[in-house]
Chain A
């Protein structure tokens, strides 16, 4: 009937390992991307290489790891034991080869499938490994997974260890660029989890003395914590926890063998469960679990033998056993917290008292909200069936078995001007649209009640599904797509204020972006160029020569659906919204969004931007 019926032996293909990796990179490194988001492929490449160095450190070899990233490539140098010289080629280019299959040479390591470095190799336009041990050195070179040069073993005076240098292939990672912020955040997690380890990144040193305690302190304003961080350490477990004064939601950082499990897993749920149990037993009162966990900020890290993850990107732990003759993950964590947290609370009555006060306060707030929440729930139930502001997509972040779940995106648009075009030109599988009407409310200094009372916010919350916890977030990317005019900027401010105020984790974890749309279209009869800045416009005009037609886009409504495809398709330009380390959210919001102050007046007057386009006649 049709062409597709030609299904014969010829259609069945067996791919070479590197071909397979290059064809289906998603299976190995999650998503591709250009480096504008922290889970983009190029960071996974770095991580895969780094994990091996970390495993060396964990086994007690090499206290320093040096990393440098520049335009000419990435290099990672450790001072570990070095790859056994005879097997260097195999380890980086033969699938399913590695030293981590038996637990003899590596206990409790992250690398375990023997896939990571090969994926990096296949996805790099050039890849070099150099291993030194026992005064000898061996180096090999690859291009896109093909061996190009195999040096013989030579004598050398270099210190033992391994050095891996690679350049991500720009055929696969289009226009990629490493962002120092994301790399530095990733490295910080490594040092928190490996006390004593020093990582040197482009000359800057990363080191942590107090492990997870440092993590919580670095990620939160210490003044906003209710009581000093509780920091407990056992053989294969480390936890740190406190409650926040200002944040509403629960915040967990969980790790397995040094791997950040952003989606939690068995260890995180065991931790949450254990915490509730201990607190209830300690105070002898059946507090509601959500009251106990409200505003909690915590980190938990465990070491498991032969961990089982739910995918190659290792973001969710599936193991139930600790391995090595220990009990299950759940009872191990339960026992540890049951003993040590209980002891801690007995020894620190002040902290215990603070926690109890906090729980009682949370209970009171919850009861106050319950009436209005019920109403909102009913409304949300309706909107679940039909959220009138939302045009949903098929794949969501929570669909663990979908390959492209990390691409799930929600566009928040301003009015009808853009939502129509985006709806028409979007990828229905992964891109959803939420349209605002007019300007949203300035919710600075309001309580969480407003999220339920204001219909727009309530629907947005329902669309994102973050009422209970950010864990259930339905889209990996939330993109604010407003016009590039002044009112569009105002809406961006109001929306970011909303997220900062009520869902700061969303921004902390890098889910929020601003869509960049072109400012100008320059075209002649043959070619059309879209320009994102004044400089690009001048270049384009020079390129197209005599009298091109120049359109300045004032609003997204001026862009027709067919054009829009370019701006939200593969070459989408997103600016991540990122917090500053040394700037408190509260000060920022109260200055810009709070009551008018003489300071702000002066700031505005001193910095007025005047645009005048005079005509001299």
Chain B
């Protein structure tokens, strides 16, 4: 009876006592890298392959989804884009207006604002858009597109769009991420 009672085993279980504990420096490292990686890869920096940030790529992809040759309400396109982009509708609408203002990929209808005077566009329920002929020709080609599943696993979206034109240089790009930022001036090829 003497020693066969509960005799705690010696230090071997030290690790088990500690496993679930992350110190503050570990928290900083994990979360910082998660956040930085996301902002760099998924938010602020355009991809070198097609020149799009994820939100722009998703807008174009959903415009192609909806494309029937007629103008669509921007608010509708934004709503559709939310199936791929798990963020607020306002940020999607703003990103879309910016593409429209470059007057290359999107044909616009209504007041899309003016970058020279700084006037803002009308609300997304008033303005309309459709893909330009140029965009339809240059940006899409489902056969050679590589796909990934969307954030909720319900749909598929392109990893990159197979762009047949140096869009990044033509349109330029700007973004401030964490630790890195990008600024590419637009170029006029004509």
Contacts and interface: CB of A to CB of B under 8 A. Distances in A.
Interface of A: 68-75, 126, 128, 139, 141, 149, 151, 165, 167, 177-181, 202-204, 486-487, 489-490, 492-493, 496, 500, 507, 514, 552, 554, 575-580, 583, 588, 592, 596, 600-601, 603-605, 607-610, 612-615, 617
Contacts of A141: 5
Contact of A604 (B7, B24, B36, B156): B36
B6 interface: yes
A596 to B, nearest CB: 6
B35 A179 contact: no
B148 A614 contact: yes
Contacts of B39: 486
Interface string B26-67: 011011111111111100000000000000000000000000
A486 B34 contact: yes
Nearest to B177: A604
A202 B34 CA distance: 36
B8 A69 contact: yes
A608 B178 CA distance: 11
A425 B153 CA distance: 30
Given A68-B10, A580-B25, A607-B37, 16 more contacts: A70-B13, A71-B16, A141-B5, A151-B1, A204-B11, A493-B28, A577-B27, A596-B179, A604-B40, A605-B179, A608-B37, A608-B40, A610-B37, A612-B159, A613-B148, A615-B148
A139 B2 CA distance: 9
Given A73-B8, A165-B5, A578-B23, A614 B31 contact: no
B41 to A, nearest CB: 7
A579 B147 contact: no
B11 A583 contact: no
A492 B31 contact: yes
Interface residues of B, number: 48
Interface string B10-24: 111110111011111
10 contacts: A70-B10, A70-B12, A178-B17, A179-B21, A181-B21, A492-B27, A577-B27, A604-B180, A612-B159, A615-B156
Contact of A578 (B24, B149, B178): B24
Nearest to A151: B1
B41 A608 contact: yes
A222 B152 CA distance: 50
Contacts, number: 142
A596 B33 CA distance: 14
A609 B9 contact: no
A489 B35 contact: yes
Those 5 A-B pairs whose CB atoms lie nearest each other, nearest first = A489-B31, A486-B38, A609-B37, A180-B17, A202-B11
B64 to A, nearest CB: 17
Interface of B: 1-2, 5-14, 16-18, 20-25, 27-28, 30-41, 86, 146-149, 151-153, 156, 159, 178-180
B32 A580 contact: no
A19 to B, nearest CB: 24
- Most chain A CB inside 10 Å of its own CB: which residue of B18, B24, B38, B149: B24
Nearest to B9: A70
A123 to B, nearest CB: 16
Contacts of B17: 69, 177-180
Given A69-B17, A151-B1, A578-B23, A610 B41 contact: yes
B58 to A, nearest CB: 15
Given A178-B17, A579-B23, A610-B41, A72 B8 contact: yes
A181 B151 contact: no
A72 B159 contact: no
A592 B32 contact: yes
A486 B43 CA distance: 11
A423 to B, nearest CB: 23
Contacts of A73: 6, 8
A617 B157 CA distance: 13
B90 to A, nearest CB: 13
Contacts of A149: 1
Nearest to B86: A554
Given A179-B18, A613-B148, A72 B35 contact: no
Contacts of A490: 31, 35
Contacts of A588: 24-25, 28
B65 to A, nearest CB: 16
A197 B8 CA distance: 23
A180 B25 contact: no
Nearest to A601: B179
B180 A601 contact: yes
User: Considering residues B12, B20, B25, which has the most beta carbons from chain A within 10 angstroms of its beta carbon?
Assistant: B25
Contact of B6 (A126, A554, A580, A615): A126
B30 to A, nearest CB: 8
Contacts of A608: 33, 36-37, 40-41
Nearest to B37: A609
B28 A592 contact: yes
A202 B18 contact: no
B44 to A, nearest CB: 12
